[in-house]
Structure 1
């Protein structure tokens, strides 16, 4: 999912969004109530008239949208003067739909902003800074620091995350046991296991590959981990010497491994798979391993015998360590909304500890409030690898993805198209890395020229 840097990488005992670290250590008034919308400093006239808010989500799925509508109905029952129209485009089209609406200044008050899109939205003046609004919201004090950081750019808060994302490995424990394999601890072992578990004659493959929308997540992670000792923690697509991470011999080794994973351990049609397809392949018994965020957990519990599923920490690189990322999406206000007070009142409701924790449970996210760490729900075995990574910050080193570059939102499309060409053999690994290197070098050049 994880965006381009607005605050410094989290260090010390804070190890990303894993439950152990994200939900611990931030004090505050967890039982306090949100202030009324007029307390934000605006006129408060909206509370005296009927207001219709238009809201759009980005990370859509049928179950998520159903639950969100239930939350909105509850909000409307508590605020009879405010009605909310929810727009829920298909996941693969949602971000483009949002960008089109924003560019045309179509009626829109509340929108789902992603760590991948915040820089572009801010750069174009589409979204409102929320600092004035949260200043008088008591529950903001119990939101974790990492959640606040993900919602910020250049030290200004632009969205309240609705949950946090952190990848881990899900694997078919029964397949591994039958094959006499143990869960992989690094990327080489992951590829080896994927190949050993692949049997096309049985329609079984080792890895749920994602070559469509969002395809850049795995190659980016492997390349970063193969360059582990030289990554600039303040700008993690770059090295300490200023070059991009795609410019090194280690990047080529990493991408060779990635191509091998596709060709020898993954279904051939997975070159076009997005999130839904890769999860469906895992839950339907086609694939043995899946690298995904905790929002996958509800689908696994619903569609599989959960006793057959194991979890493991993210694979490590040759250094014996692994970078992990805190990422998220959440609710922001359009800069041109005529109903900003009412819009933020809705965000307060959705983002309060009670509603956010319930939303996190329903959608498989890590909640944003410290009080959620006490909930037995998050002691589930499906979260244990997140806890393990959080407890080993020296091995699983948190990087805050740098969201400052406007081109971050376009990178997924560029990486997908050029990556597919490479996987199909119409472009070489060297040529692909050259394109990726040039893309990010140009992004930094343009950013520094501002």
Structure 2
């Protein structure tokens, strides 16, 4: 009897311990969280707030995944990302830009996403342009979180005062900007950008002036293999560029970057701004309705304007220890519903073709972009030089040499020769 009682107690203790162990194991699994480290590049307070809101919702739906968002200051972000990747610091998702994707691929920093997108049902509606922007060597390395496409913003009230129409060519833009310039009133026709990103204007002008000569698949070069900077058309474009700065732009705009350029327009200093749709939100917040409007890009002497949609988006670190969880987050951020909402809130062209059917993108300041895409013979799409590793440094080179030109420290011929040599070297290195 006593033996049976002892056995019963032993069995009961064993059962209690087993249940305890199971509960303990279950508790450990429930408390385990995978932490995803994610860094953005194109930072701004509003944008970071929008991204964090999306991440909060993702974490609510996926309680086993914690997301740590790193948001460096905009002007330091890309170097911060390079430093983290180069030092093999733990990072799972990074914002990759069209400007540096080839550099990151070349250094083995980022993972191809094809194995993941092949199984993603929503990939069927990702636009061809979005796929192209994130692709290097036939493999996709990032999914754009929105596309940027340049258009013209202008002070409709100033134009009305002077009885002017929006310019359709670069020559007209110069003449119009000159008429709108009155330094005594601190009014200037053109929101010039001589600092970081200045090559957005110089390249646009040179491409437009070269027109049909440009190799659309290798846009820093003409169809006969020369660089676009080596042609007579490039010199004509840059001569107009110099006049645009001298006759129609604020003198201190030689140092302006994105923020200064946009602020000058919103504060009533400049009349014409060439920018991407991400400025629309700022214009709507800071300017009265009816004081500004949009128009298509300007054409060159052959009647064509060359443009490319650019973008940044979410890529995966090749060293990530949590690739499945990282892809789950990228997939969520890139879904039609989430991406379209982000595009509306921040002012971007959505990733998915289905979103462009939304009335939001068919009216108002976005309509110009749709109008341009409906005239492909005039507004010609080209493939930017994303696949060249030196593309990420081109902006810095163009800015420094361009400022030297504007300050009369270099001649136009010397400047164009430097630009020509830069891309000749890029082509030679790419072949090796």
TM above 0.5, yes or no, is yes
> How big is each residue's C-alpha offset from its partner over 1:306-358, in whole Å with a ceiling of 9 and x where there is no partner?
31111111000000111121211100000001111111111011110111001
Give me the whole-angstrom Cα distance separating, in 2, the residues matched to 1:306 and 1:443. Answer: 46
Report the CA distance between 1:259 and its aligned residue: 1.1
Report the CA distance between 1:47 and its aligned residue: 11
Which of 66, 88, 100 is the aligned partner of 1:117? 100
Which of 124, 133, 139 is the aligned partner of 2:122? 139
Does the 8 A contact of 1:58 with 1:89 survive in 2?
A: yes
Q: What's the counterpart of residue 339 of structure 2?
A: 356
Residue 360 of structure 2: SS of its match in structure 1?
helix
Deviates more, 1:434-443 or 1:241-250: 241-250
Report the CA distance between 1:402 and its aligned residue: 2.4
Q: What's the counterpart of residue 195 of structure 2?
A: 212
Residue 320 of structure 1: SS of its match in structure 2?
coil
Give me the whole-angstrom Cα distance separating, in 1, the residues matched to 2:34 and 2:281. Answer: 34
Report the CA distance between 1:143 and its aligned residue: 1.1
> How big is each residue's C-alpha offset from its partner over 1:369-403, in whole Å with a ceiling of 9 and x where there is no partner?
12212322112310121111111111111112121
1:266 correspondence with 2:249: yes
Give me the whole-angstrom Cα distance separating, in 1, the residues matched to 2:420 and 2:410. Answer: 15
Q: What's the counterpart of residue 321 of structure 1?
A: 304
Q: What's the counterpart of residue 285 of structure 1?
A: 268
CA 224–48 in structure 1, closer or farther in 2 if over 3 Å, else same: farther
Which of 194, 202, 223 is the aligned partner of 2:177? 194
Give me the whole-angstrom Cα distance separating, in 1, the residues matched to 2:31 and 2:131. Answer: 31
Q: What's the counterpart of residue 430 of structure 1?
A: 413
> How big is each residue's C-alpha offset from its partner over 1:66-106, in whole Å with a ceiling of 9 and x where there is no partner?
11111111111111111111111122221111111111111
The two structures, once aligned, show a CA RMSD in angstroms of 1.3
Give me the whole-angstrom Cα distance separating, in 1, the residues matched to 2:81 and 2:155. Answer: 37
Give me the whole-angstrom Cα distance separating, in 1, the residues matched to 2:74 and 2:143. Answer: 20
Structure 1 unmatched runs, 5+: 1-45
- Which structure would you say has the larger RCO, counting Cα contacts within 8 Å and 6 or more residues apart? 1
Residue 271 of structure 2: SS of its match in structure 1?
strand
1:86 correspondence with 2:82: no
Does the 8 A contact of 1:64 with 1:363 survive in 2?
A: yes
Q: What's the counterpart of residue 174 of structure 1?
A: 157
Residue 434 of structure 1: SS of its match in structure 2?
helix
Q: What's the counterpart of residue 17 of structure 2?
A: none
Report the CA distance between 1:48 and its aligned residue: 9.5
Aligned length: 404
Q: What's the counterpart of residue 32 of structure 1?
A: none
Deviates more, 1:381-390 or 1:289-298: 381-390
Q: What is the correspondence of 1:379-418 to structure 2 with a 5 Å cutoff?
A: 379-418=362-401
Give me the whole-angstrom Cα distance separating, in 2, the residues matched to 1:68 and 1:103. Answer: 25
CA 447–48 in structure 1, closer or farther in 2 if over 3 Å, else same: farther
Residue 213 of structure 1: SS of its match in structure 2?
coil
Highest CA radius of gyration, 1 or 2? 2
Does the 8 A contact of 1:279 with 1:296 survive in 2?
A: yes
Does the 8 A contact of 1:47 with 1:342 survive in 2?
A: no
Residue 41 of structure 2: SS of its match in structure 1?
coil
